[in-house]
Amino acid sequence: MRIQTRIHWLLLFAFTITICFGIVWVLQFLQVSTSLHTYVIDELSTAEEVLRENQVSVSIASAQEATEQMRHSLKKTMTVTTVLLGAIFLFLSLLFFELYRSVIVPIVRMRKDYEIIGRGDLSHRVEYHSEDEIGDLAKEMNALTEHLSESQQEVKKEQQKLIVSLQESEEQKMFLEDVRKAMINLLEDIEEEKTNAIRHAQKSEVILKSMDEGVCVVDLSGKIQFMNSAGKTILGREKQKVVGKHVSRMLKAVQGEKKVSASKLPIMLCMKKGKALKGPSDLLFTSKSGSRVAVESVASPLTIDQKVEGAVLMFRDVTRAREVDRTKSEFISIVSHQLRTPLTALRWHNEMILAGNLGEISEKQNTSFKKMYGSILRMVALVNAMLNVARIEAGRIEIEPVPTDLARVAEGVLGKYETQIKDKSLEVATDIDVSIGEINVDPCLIEEVFSNLVSNAIKYSLEKGGVSLSLKSDGDMVKGKISDTGLGIPKEQQDKVFTKFFRGENILSEDTDGTGLGLYIVKAIIESSGGKIWFESEENNGTTFWFTLPKSGMMKRSGDRKIVPLETSWGHSHQKKQS
């Protein structure tokens, strides 16, 4: 049972006892005083009667008075006692009230406060400021709470710190996890790279092995570090260990009949010069068995981080190719000689007859011989054109660029065909940009281009037609245009114009002249110079050819043959003859 309740009960009990006792006491007192009074009065009355019978005259008044006094004194005693009891009651009440006010109430309040604190609100304080023990207790308790609060704050701070450090360690953990993952990825990448590198190396090895070209790698001192099987085959050293041996022992070479020392070989020279070197075209390697192998070779320094660390030589056995080349060359030579010799005899005999050196001939004979002569010249032109084609295709046309005035070449070509232009009463218009000036081209080749295009324009023009030639500057190119108002090229044949032996169907009936090789040659010349050629044509409405040539000119190429200039059977020779 709670103290408060106990005190309540105790208080109630005390009150009840006091009140009961008081009531009993008062009733007892009243009874006693009344009984006494009655007794006294009775006794007195009895006494009076006795006396009267005894004739004793006695007055009871004084006795009554004494009783009254006694009663009065009893009353007085009772009052004092009652007051005393009331005072005791009051005192007790006050005592209890004080006890209640100063102990019970604060305890109850404090209990509530502690309940709040107990629930966790450590900022809560007991609002009790009394200078007594309870007040002290409250103060102590407040101090305790304060201390608790501080401790809790500290604990919280520590906790916070702990949380922060926990977070940090969590972050660190995550970071470490990331690092771990990154490391794993890196390792995987490295593994992959390694696999790739191995595969790459294997691939390179397979490529090197499967190459037809010989590949030889040397270090700075000239020691062979690698040679592929093709290289060994070319040198006849399939069964020999070449790696680690010096290049002078494995790559024996001659040029002409002279031995080439190892230090003069491109593979060694290129390291000194620090640039790729092409082996001389007459370089022959001597195989292990002593046979000579014609090779085409290129040596390049192996530069790693701008430092030459060795060299690689690529070489190809061209013995067979050279033989084929020689055969081809011989064939061209034979064709040129064997065909030209009878043609020469035919031509000259014909010329003598036509010139009247062998006596007078009739008009009919003259016409016939002229036709024959035309055919002979056409055959000469055909042989020359075929030779040109063969040379172009063999890539052995010599290109000798010199500063050339294209305008002069063009005008020269037009001059060459003056007679034909007059014969057909053609109107020739030229539009030449003189600012083009001189360009580094091979004049023979350029003349060939103009000759073919101009002669075609004239040949396929109708009487009184028009031929125009223009040369313009077009950026870093020169653009040439040659057009006629002639027969044109049938649409369905236009895609074949630049093919070998092309002849327009519409011109065959008009003209049996021509080789069908001119435009093929022109295209080959233009394109090998870095230019372009194209045309527009409409049947019976003329043709326009355009070509471009870079202003930078042609690249020099050494070859053993020059192109045979176009010698129009119906042009040049007739003209000369007539002059």
Partner 1 sequence: MPEQKTILVVEDDKAIAEVYEMKLQFEGFNVIIANNGLEALSTIKETVPDLILLDIIMPKMNGFDFLSQLKKDPANQNIKVIIMSNLGQDIDRKRGEELGAVEYIVKSDSNIDEILEKITKHLGG
* Residues 468 and 453: beta-carbon distance below 8 Å: no
By CB under 8 A, is residue 352 in contact with partner 1?
yes
CA distance 287 to 5: 129
Per DSSP (E only), the strands in 228-278 are 252-255, 258-260, 277-278
Strand pairing partners for 533?
A: 547
Q: Does 151 bind partner 1 (CB under 8 A)?
A: no
Q: Cβ of 531: how many Cβ atoms within 10 Å?
A: 19
Nearest to 443 by CA among 388, 398, 402, 389: 402
Q: In whole angstroms, give the CA distance from residue 97 to residue 434.
A: 136
Least distance from C-beta 398 to partner 1, angstroms? 7
> Are 289 and 266 a contacting pair, CB within 8 Å?
no
Site for partner 1 in 48-107 (CB under 8 A): none
Q: How many residues bind partner 1 (CB under 8 A)?
A: 30
Shortest gap between Cβ of 402 and partner 1 (angstroms)? 16
* Shortest distance (Å) from residue 435 CB to partner 1: 34
Which residues neighbour 25 within 8 Å (Cβ) at sequence distance 6 or greater?
81, 85
Please tell me whether residue 503 binds partner 1 under the rule CB under 8 A: no
CA–CA distance, 318 with 325 (Å, rounded to integer): 10
Q: Which residue in 16, 342, 403, 496 binds partner 1 (CB under 8 A)? A: 342
From the list 8-16, 378-386, 447-455, 518-526, the region that binds partner 1 by CB under 8 A is 378-386
Nearer to partner 1, 489 or 517 (CB): 517
Could you tell me the smallest distance in angstroms from the CB atom of residue 328 to partner 1?
13
Report the nearest approach of partner 1 to the CB of residue 527 (Å).
23
Q: How far apart are CA 470 and CA 479, in angstroms?
A: 8
Regarding 233 and contact with partner 1 (CB under 8 A), the answer is no
Region near partner 1 per CB under 8 A, out of 63-71, 240-248, 354-362, 434-442: 354-362
Residues 541 to 560 in contact with partner 1, rule: CB under 8 A: 560
| Cα separation, 530 vs 552, whole angstroms | 10
Q: Which stretch binds partner 1 (CB under 8 A): 48-56, 279-287, 329-337, 454-462?
A: 329-337
Q: For the residues of 147-203, what is the DSSP string, one character each?
A: HHHHHHHHHHHHHHHHHHHHHHHHHHHHHHHHHHHHHHHHHHHHHHHHHHHHHHHHH
Q: Binding partner 1 by CB under 8 A: which of 1, 56, 304, 355?
A: 355
How far apart are CB 455 and partner 1 at their closest, in Å? 16
- Report if residue 562 touches partner 1, rule: CB under 8 A: yes
Per CB under 8 A, 320 contacts partner 1: no
Q: Is residue 385 near partner 1 by the rule CB under 8 A?
A: no
- Interface residues with partner 1 (CB under 8 A)? 333, 336-337, 340-345, 347-349, 351-352, 355, 357-358, 380, 383-384, 387, 398, 560-562, 564, 567, 573, 576-577
